[in-house]
Amino acid sequence: MTHPTGRTWALRAARLAAFGAGTAAAVAIATAGTLYAQARQARRIIPLAEAPPPRGDGLYGARLPGPPLTLAVLGDSSAAGYGVHRPRETLGALLATGISRRLRRPVRLHRLAVVGARSSGLVPQVEAALEIRPDLVVILIGGNDVTHRTPLEVAVGHLVDAVRQLRAVGAQVVVGTCPDLGAIEPIKPPLRWLARRWSRQLAAAQTVAVVEAGGWTVSLGDLLGPRFAAEPTRLYSWDRFHPSAEGYAMAAAVLLPAALGALGASTASRTGVAGREKVRTLPQAAHEAARHAGTEVRGTQVGGRERGPDGRWARLRRRPRLPGRSWQAAALSWLFGPPGADRDADHRRSAVSSGQHLGLSPAGPES
């Protein structure tokens, strides 16, 4: 995702804030001025995207047996890995390494995500993905739809079309839903409150649509927000908007269980971050997931039926959020396994530290 973009967002935010409140014209104008000033301030703090993010495309775990799984990563700048400097620190590289190590199979990564993309930008990305026939597609999208105030039905429509096309060719699809832009520190109230509301509305709508289309979702929400105030230089990159290497590791850690689940591999019993499962109607599950980062949602059956009186059934799994470095250690353990668990040379190289990146990092792709 890219940063908030000023006048259009601010003026529309002002209209929404004033809607139904019966305020006088002078109050509405003052509100618009406040929001516009806050948007301008955020733009000054959050610089424009400059150099493209590093590419991590290639084969991970090349020395492992079996044919490679093909992983495609679609979406916006967070999916592309903007904010880090090494290919091995990007979300795609982290997921490719985690999947390879957990399944003991090579994984070929194709990063198709584009910085600044909105949901409408998924169209060419999906076309490119269909050409490579991926086994798994991970999509992160929505932040730019919020900042540009894309109509909800338009943004969700593009996403569900993408999921349906990918599922039609046999690809499994995992979507990281819209992050909570209200957790971004440079965005101040009242703009922050509106950004949070819009983000959660889009995330919930994405969840319902994706699960109905046969995909899985994981809520990213305010995954990094609670820790930002305490450690702003650790979980966010230099622009104070995109994740740092550690931030991407935490995001990958909550996405990986769903990715493995979608591929038909269950390794939760061998980890310390399995989480609690619940069954809800899909709208209930979507609402709950939007409020709790790291919640996985997928379709399920109750009594042999996919639907009940109130709609489709869904299964939630909420990962525990451990405090401090306990969570970081759990995240990295889930991604790469307990330190020392893999003894072969390929995996020893995968545990090399990357810029003090929690003490673990994947190696780059291999030829």
- Which residues, at least 6 apart from 208, have a Cβ–Cβ distance to it below 8 Å? 282, 283, 286
Distance CA 340, CA 65 (A): 20
Smallest CA-to-CA distance from 316 within 294, 293, 298, 292 is with 298
Catalytic residues: 77, 239, 242
Burial level of 252, CB count in 10 A (0-12/13-18/19+)? buried
CB-based burial of residue 113 (10 Å sphere; 0-12 exposed, 13-18 middle, 19+ buried)?
buried
| Sequence-distant (≥ 6) Cβ neighbours of residue 245 within 8 angstroms | 84, 86, 89, 354, 355, 357, 361
Q: How far is CA 210 from CA 34, 165, 177, 195, in A?
A: 36, 12, 10, 22
